[in-house]
Amino acid sequence: MGRAQAGAAHVIGLRRLYCNRNGVFLMVDVPAADVEPKKAELILKGWLIEDDILV
């Protein structure tokens, strides 16, 4: 049980990006502080960011 609680602590402060490129779906979890650079990187690689949610 302690292990599950420790795992839950790792998702605090994450943002989940839902991306699409040519019919391929990609879901990326990113620390909230790094979300804008990661979005820019994905967009440059041709990914469309469909949604961005707090995890």
Would you say 17 and 47 are in contact if contact means Cβ atoms under 8 Å apart? Answer: no
Q: Concatenated DSSP letters for 10-55?
A: HHTTEEEEEEEETTEEEEEEEEGGGHHHHHHHHHHTT-EEEEEEE-
Q: pTM for the full model?
A: 0.77
CA distance 46 to 2: 41
Domain boundaries, the chain: 2-54
CA distance 49 to 55: 16
What confidence tens digit (pLDDT) does each residue in 1-55 have?
445 455 555 567 899 999 999 999 999 999 999 999 999 999 999 999 999 999 8
